[in-house]
């Protein structure tokens, strides 16, 4: 079957959606790796490898601080059996330990950079002093140590830490510089949620990776990769390909992190079971929401509960929604353009469901009751806002103008000065033809609306990363409560890492009003 034959299989809605924007497809572009068959669609084997669970690191309490020692170093990993690729890891060859912290305590993290290049470590989702944020201004030179300290003020949830190197975040995260953070708190302890790490409370770092013909990890640097973001055709969960998890309980809590550089996922369960969403990026929702699917963009997290009481095996599966509107990574262009457009299907598009994780319960068990109420969230009141700031995301022609409000990231330019303690509405508009996950540092915000419409259940709680679809405008309500610094900025940016590296990022300082 050639590439075009596949076009008949793509869904009608996607085609209709693209009809209005077919002109954008008129660019003939070289695609990398497009000849390889999609190994996901060819389903190379059911869960054959036990899911790796990152080591749990609770640090050591010293003089009132919980202290973590993190060593970034070069590693090696087999992404395909028998073929070793160079990687980056934290206290491990690839990825790193799950850091467990408690709300209200002070933590200190000693981060040693054992690489022969600079690195940074950003605590994604945390509200903390700018000097502790781990953005591009907190460069850790080779051989140096960085020891930020801050009070954990986050609600219980799944956060993560990852490289935020200026113009080098994409390759470093791709090589493995990323790992989970669990924040726990009293609010969660009072609920009867599964919380035994590695047993019924499991972090899932979902990543796609591209391998070259020899089976080595490949990070393409071409125009296509910059425009669409680097997307692979093999799925790894916590670094495990074709992963299976042997469950020993009737109720399983999965904390899912989309740790991919650019790929969006629509997760669901095989056989169409429902899953209960209990948390968004920055904490528990008010109550569980039963859903059949959920979309996560890079940087976003969620937590779901899965009922395994029947004792039957099932799979967490996903499709990869097309996050562009007829751009060069889109599929089926030939259907619209009668073959004149010279575009080929990108083999890293994945329209059909693929397996992310197989789950094998050991036995049937009594059904567990879910708590009806999870967390008290303050009422969402946009009238609190004293001003509105607008951010327009754009890509320019051919991705040459990755920008926010017309400007590309400049380390020497502070784009916004935000008074501390004042509620604001941040209005994020997408002028490009591709969806972007917009991430704001030092914030947990609430979503007011999307093009005036109420957000879906996953977006009713606290968020730090939000999908903005093409031609969409998303309004966020937020406030920076402390940590002023007139000179040292925080970032806001697209979390498609190649877009971030190419300049779809800006800087803000929090100042005394």
Positions in the binding site for Cu ion (CB under 5 A) = 436, 494, 496, 499
For the bound state, the minimum distance from the C-beta of residue 437 to Cu ion, rounded and expressed in Å, comes to: 7
| Residues 104 and 117: beta-carbon distance below 8 Å | no
Task: Give the nearer residue to Cu ion in terms of CB position, either 396 or 419.
Answer: 396
For the bound state, the minimum distance from the C-beta of residue 494 to Cu ion, rounded and expressed in Å, comes to: 3
For the bound state, the minimum distance from the C-beta of residue 207 to Cu ion, rounded and expressed in Å, comes to: 17
Task: Give the nearer residue to Cu ion in terms of CB position, either 103 or 499.
Answer: 499
For the bound state, the minimum distance from the C-beta of residue 499 to Cu ion, rounded and expressed in Å, comes to: 3
Work out whether strand 243-247 and strand 49-50 pair parallel, antiparallel, or are unpaired: parallel
For the bound state, the minimum distance from the C-beta of residue 175 to Cu ion, rounded and expressed in Å, comes to: 20
Rounded Cα–Cα distance for residues 359 and 157 (Å): 23
Task: Give the nearer residue to Cu ion in terms of CB position, either 371 or 400.
Answer: 400
Q: Across-strand partners of 364?
A: none
Task: Give the nearer residue to Cu ion in terms of CB position, either 230 or 496.
Answer: 496
For the bound state, the minimum distance from the C-beta of residue 504 to Cu ion, rounded and expressed in Å, comes to: 5
Task: Give the nearer residue to Cu ion in terms of CB position, either 263 or 499.
Answer: 499
- Cα dihedral 44, 45, 50, 53, rounded to 10, equals 40
Task: Give the nearer residue to Cu ion in terms of CB position, either 351 or 498.
Answer: 498
DSSP string for 208-235: EEEE-TTS-EE---SHHHHHH----SEE
For the bound state, the minimum distance from the C-beta of residue 434 to Cu ion, rounded and expressed in Å, comes to: 7
Backbone φ/ψ region at 337: left (φ over 0), alpha (ψ -120 to 50), beta: alpha
| Residues 388 and 424: beta-carbon distance below 8 Å | yes
CA 60 to chain centre: 28
Angle at 290 (CA atoms; ends 285, 291), nearest 5 degrees: 105
Rounded Cα–Cα distance for residues 289 and 457 (Å): 7
- Cα dihedral 164, 165, 171, 173, rounded to 10, equals -30
Task: Give the nearer residue to Cu ion in terms of CB position, either 172 or 432.
Answer: 432
Q: How many helices (H) and strands (E) does the chain have?
A: 6, 35
Work out whether strand 416-419 and strand 505-511 pair parallel, antiparallel, or are unpaired: parallel
Task: Give the nearer residue to Cu ion in terms of CB position, either 224 or 436.
Answer: 436
For the bound state, the minimum distance from the C-beta of residue 496 to Cu ion, rounded and expressed in Å, comes to: 4
Task: Give the nearer residue to Cu ion in terms of CB position, either 278 or 494.
Answer: 494
| Residues 88 and 176: beta-carbon distance below 8 Å | yes
Task: Give the nearer residue to Cu ion in terms of CB position, either 288 or 503.
Answer: 503
For the bound state, the minimum distance from the C-beta of residue 232 to Cu ion, rounded and expressed in Å, comes to: 18
**3-state class (DSSP) for residue 24:** helix
**3-state class (DSSP) for residue 255:** strand
Rounded Cα–Cα distance for residues 483 and 131 (Å): 10
Task: Give the nearer residue to Cu ion in terms of CB position, either 165 or 504.
Answer: 504
DSSP string for 403-468: EETTB---TT---EEEETT--EEEEEEE-SSB-EEEEETT--BEEEEETTBPPPGGGSS-BSEEEE
For the bound state, the minimum distance from the C-beta of residue 259 to Cu ion, rounded and expressed in Å, comes to: 16
Tell me which residue of 150, 151, 152, 179 sits closest to 163, measured CA to CA. 179
For the bound state, the minimum distance from the C-beta of residue 502 to Cu ion, rounded and expressed in Å, comes to: 9
Tell me which residue has tokens 């990323």: 178
Number of residues that this document lists for the chain: 513
How many C-beta atoms surround the C-beta of residue 396 within 10 A? 15
């Amino acid at each position: 079957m050639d590439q075009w034959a596949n076009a008949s299989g793509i869904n009608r809605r996607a085609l209709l959606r693209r009809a209005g924007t077919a002109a954008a497809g008129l660019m003939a572009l070289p695609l990398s790796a497009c000849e390889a068959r999609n190994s996901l669609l060819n389903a190379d084997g059911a869960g054959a490898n036990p899911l790796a669970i990152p080591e749990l690191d609770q640090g050591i309490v010293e003089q009132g601080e919980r202290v973590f020692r993190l060593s970034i170093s070069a590693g090696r990993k087999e992404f395909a059996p028998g073929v070793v690729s160079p990687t980056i890891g934290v206290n491990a060859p690839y990825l790193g330990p799950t850091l467990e912290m408690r709300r209200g305590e002070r933590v200190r993290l000693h981060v040693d950079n054992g690489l022969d290049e600079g690195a940074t470590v950003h605590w994604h989702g945390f509200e903390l002093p700018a000097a502790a944020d781990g953005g591009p201004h907190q460069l850790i030179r080779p051989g140096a140590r960085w020891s930020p300290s801050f009070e954990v003020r986050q609600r219980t949830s799944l956060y993560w830490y990852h490289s935020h190197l200026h113009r080098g975040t994409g390759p470093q995260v791709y090589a493995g510089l990323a790992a989970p953070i669990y924040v726990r708190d009293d609010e969660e302890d009072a609920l009867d949620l599964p919380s035994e790490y590695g047993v019924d409370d499991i972090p899932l770092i979902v990543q796609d990776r591209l391998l070259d013909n020899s089976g080595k990890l490949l990070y393409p640097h071409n125009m296509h990769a910059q425009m669409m973001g680097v997307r692979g055709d093999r799925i790894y969960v916590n670094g495990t390909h074709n992963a299976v998890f042997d469950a020993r309980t009737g109720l399983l809590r999965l904390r899912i992190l989309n740790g991919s550089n650019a790929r969006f996922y629509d997760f669901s369960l095989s056989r169409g079971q429902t899953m209960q969403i209990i948390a968004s990026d920055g904490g528990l929702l008010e109550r569980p929401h039963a859903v059949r699917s959920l979309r996560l963009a890079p940087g976003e997290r969620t937590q779901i509960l899965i009922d395994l009481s029947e004792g039957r095996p099932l799979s967490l599966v996903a499709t990869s929604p097309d996050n562009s509107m007829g751009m060069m990574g889109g599929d089926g262009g030939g259907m619209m353009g009668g073959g004149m457009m010279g575009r080929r299907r990108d083999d890293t598009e994945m329209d059909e469901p693929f397996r992310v994780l197989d789950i094998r319960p050991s036995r049937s068990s009594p059904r567990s009751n879910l708590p009806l109420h999870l967390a008290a969230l303050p009422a969402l009141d946009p009238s609190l806002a004293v001003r509105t700031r607008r951010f327009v995301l754009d890509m320019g022609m051919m991705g040459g103008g990755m920008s926010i409000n017309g400007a590309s990231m400049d380390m020497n330019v502070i784009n916004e000065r935000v008074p501390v303690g004042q509620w604001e509405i941040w209005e994020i508009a997408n002028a490009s033809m591709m969806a972007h996950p917009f991430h704001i540092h030092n914030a947990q915000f609430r979503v007011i609306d999307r093009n005036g419409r109420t957000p879906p259940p996953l977006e009713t709680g606290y968020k730090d990363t939000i999908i903005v679809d093409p031609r969409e405008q998303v309004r966020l309500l937020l406030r920076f409560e402390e940590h002023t610094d007139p000179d040292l900025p925080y970032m806001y940016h697209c979390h498609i890492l190649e877009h971030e590296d190419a300049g779809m990022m800006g800087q803000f300082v929090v100042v005394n009003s």
